[in-house]
Chain A
Amino acid sequence: MSAPQLTVEDLYVRFPTSRGTVEAVNGVNFTLEKGQMLGIVGESGSGKSVTAKTLMNLLPRTAEVDGNIIFEGDDVRAIAKERRKHFWGVKMTMVFQDPMTSLNPVKRCGEQITETLRYHLGDDKATAKKKAIDLLEQVGVPEPSKRVDQYPHELSGGLRQRVVIAMALACEPSLLIADEPTTAVDVTVQKRLLDLLDGLRRDRGMSMILITHDLGVARGRCDDVAVMYGGRLVERAPTETLFADSRHPYTEALLRTIPRIDQPSHTRLEPIAGRPPELIDPDEECAFAPRCRYAQPDCLKAIPPVGGVRDQHEFACFHPANTDRGRQALDTNLAAGQTVTGLQIQADAGVN
């Protein structure tokens, strides 16, 4: 079996602040195969965006990074100076959430693409422009030769995002990271953008990391999905396995809390009690324990290591859902009416 395209090993990212050190990424490990589409799902503060920015070398100077990032054999954090200029933006590129901040409002759309081509690939003006028009067509921008000379404000949100995607693809990257690429657009536009990314990925044999807070988005499009919570990667599995057979209580709680379109109206939702985890000087315990229905004393004594079957279904939990151990833990808690962290729980009369 060949080595994975991307290996992230023991990644830690910390930000010193006046209140203490924020452990934004707290020991993350994952790999990505060539051509694979990995979804990283998490809420705000989970560390997913920081992870992406670490891969792309976009962190502020105050960030302290530890760990290894190996991409196609290169140690990303130790790339030789001469190669740095043409690594990010060429081999690995990124698409962000808000197209207006990725696009320079006073530069024409075409220019923003040709700039990339001319800087990284050394293309001359004419070649670059021709390529830009071609790229715009590939990303589905209608009338590309007209749009190439327009300014961002003349385009709709969906079109702008396509221009951003064109910019990202200009130098034929091996890996595209998309950080919430469709969060700021309407649902019909979202579908078409995701279809586009899907198609482009397959055509080019490109790998993708799709970062999102929307489980549904991840489900429809990704090969594997990883869930992040409190700066840690708590579960990873092929998409359908994750949704049908989640092991980590957070994943399970997430799936039960979002309203689903196939539920009848007025279905009672199951909230996740408590609030997001503390990222500043966190304790040596499971980050989800205060909110977890399964929590047991050992959850408060150590950070659960990643277990399960490597490269198939990994999760970091001492009492995972859908296992005997987990069911036992849950029964214990139900009998007591609360978990070890004082979280009140009770059985529902009906079944979901």
Chain B
Amino acid sequence: MTTSVPSTTVVDDIADDETVDNAVKKRLGFGFWVAISWIGLVSLAALLAPWLPIADPNEIANGAPRDGILGDNFMGTDALGRDVFARTIWGARISLGVGFLGILLGIVVGGALGIAAGYFKGLVDQVISFVVFSLLSFPSLVLALLITASLSRSFLTVAMTLGIVGIAPISRLARATTIQFAEREFVQAARVIGAKSRRIIVKELLPNVLIPMGALTLLGMGISIVAEGSLAFLGLSVEGEAISWGKSIVDGSQTRDLNQNSHVAFVPIFAMFLTVMALNFAGDRIREYTDVKETAF
């Protein structure tokens, strides 16, 4: 006599809700939250700058010129007596704004190009790759010069410059990630079901490609912020009275100031350093955290 388990009553054992989710969940870590808090704080301050109880950043002779830290002004004044603290906060508006907008442009355009190249391959890939390689080969500084020379050096054009420079590397990453996923069987399955290309890209590829790229956003912002600093040193950042960290650092870097009133340069330097480090750290943690979700037990 044989016995058997009737096959329609397959004893299924999926681990209980809580245990699996908790077990697999990786923690982002304390450091991540510290970093995010800092970024949040700076962003908030930048956004609310006009309403914060701080000095007018452009007011000359707000305090005695070249006054040190914790004198009458919280972080001292620069050569023209302007409040350094206020200038740093207002500088965040442009630096962060330019960084964010720049990377956004890079991801939207670069991402779209990369995904298209990776999914459709063939001629589409060849054309897009050619354009991207050309961009990559073009010295970014010359590009920045060209753009800011022909257009005004406003917030938007500086953001656009940074964005355009970012398109090429981002699209390479997007393309590589897309190719990696486009060969997976679940994409083939979607084709077999009869989904059209657009649906496959949106439903199957994007969620998988965007997540690693999302982690890139934070890292990219860090890079953009530093790049703005470089542009400022070349005199290519925002013009006129607009304040950015880059410009503040340049202002404070006259030899005399560096020797005697280094706080003028170092306060914005420090602000930039901490912010970029926080962005890098947080971006890295997100990348690691989102990498995990593929294994079954």
CB < 8 Å: which of B4, B10, B13, B23 contacts A346? B4
Contact, CB under 8 Å: A271 / B2? no
Counting CB contacts under 8 A, is A188 at the interface?
no
Tell me, rounded to whole Å, the shortest Cβ–Cβ distance linking A334 to chain B: 6
Counting CB contacts under 8 A, is A293 at the interface?
yes
Counting CB contacts under 8 A, is B11 at the interface?
yes
Counting CB contacts under 8 A, is A344 at the interface?
yes
Counting CB contacts under 8 A, is B1 at the interface?
yes
The proximity string for B residues 1-15 relative to A, scoring 1 for CB distances below 8 Å and 0 otherwise, is 111111101110100
C-alpha spacing A345/B5, complex, angstroms: 5
Contact, CB under 8 Å: B4 / A348? yes
C-alpha spacing A334/B4, complex, angstroms: 10
Among B7, B10, B11, the one with the most A-chain Cβ atoms within 10 Å of its Cβ is B11
Per DSSP, are chain A's interface residues mostly helix, strand or loop, or mixed? Answer: loop
C-alpha spacing A275/B297, complex, angstroms: 11
CB < 8 Å: which of B1, B5, B13 contacts A344? B5
CB < 8 Å: which of A19, A274, A275, A293 contacts B3? A293
Counting CB contacts under 8 A, is A347 at the interface?
yes
Query: Which residues of B1-40 are within 8 A (CB) of A?
Result: 1-7, 9-11, 13, 23
Contact A271/B5 with A19-B23, A343-B11 known, Cβ cut-off 8 Å: yes
Per DSSP, are chain B's interface residues mostly helix, strand or loop, or mixed? Answer: loop
Contact, CB under 8 Å: B9 / A344? yes
CB < 8 Å: which of B1, B2, B11 contacts A273? B11
**In chain B, what residue has the closest Cβ to A20?**
B23
Tell me, rounded to whole Å, the shortest Cβ–Cβ distance linking B184 to chain A: 21
Tell me, rounded to whole Å, the shortest Cβ–Cβ distance linking A231 to chain B: 16
Q: Which residues of B contact A270 (CB under 8 A)?
A: 2, 4-5
C-alpha spacing A347/B2, complex, angstroms: 6
The total of chain B residues at the interface (CB under 8 A) is 12
Counting CB contacts under 8 A, is A2 at the interface?
no
Counting CB contacts under 8 A, is A78 at the interface?
no
C-alpha spacing A351/B1, complex, angstroms: 6
Query: Which residues of A137-172 are within 8 A (CB) of B?
Result: none
Q: Which residues of B contact A101 (CB under 8 A)?
A: none
Contact, CB under 8 Å: B3 / A273? no
Tell me, rounded to whole Å, the shortest Cβ–Cβ distance linking B292 to chain A: 11
The proximity string for A residues 49-77 relative to B, scoring 1 for CB distances below 8 Å and 0 otherwise, is 00000000000000000000000000000
The proximity string for B residues 209-246 relative to A, scoring 1 for CB distances below 8 Å and 0 otherwise, is 00000000000000000000000000000000000000
Contact, CB under 8 Å: B5 / A273? yes
Counting CB contacts under 8 A, is A330 at the interface?
yes
**In chain A, what residue has the closest Cβ to B14?**
A275
CB < 8 Å: which of A19, A275, A344, A350 contacts B6? A344
CB < 8 Å: which of B3, B7, B13, B23 contacts A271? B7
Contact A346/B2 with A273-B11, A274-B11, A275-B13 known, Cβ cut-off 8 Å: no
Counting CB contacts under 8 A, is A265 at the interface?
no
Among B1, B6, B7, the one with the most A-chain Cβ atoms within 10 Å of its Cβ is B1
The proximity string for A residues 280-300 relative to B, scoring 1 for CB distances below 8 Å and 0 otherwise, is 000000000000010000000
Q: Which residues of A contact B2 (CB under 8 A)?
A: 270, 347-348, 350-352
User: Can you list 10 pairs linking A and B with CB atoms under 8 Å apart?
Assistant: A270-B5, A273-B10, A273-B11, A274-B13, A293-B3, A334-B3, A343-B11, A344-B5, A345-B4, A346-B3
Residue positions of B touching A, CB distance < 8 A: 1-7, 9-11, 13, 23
| 8 nearest A-B pairs in the assembled complex, by CB-CB distance | A273-B11, A348-B2, A273-B5, A352-B2, A19-B23, A275-B13, A270-B4, A345-B3
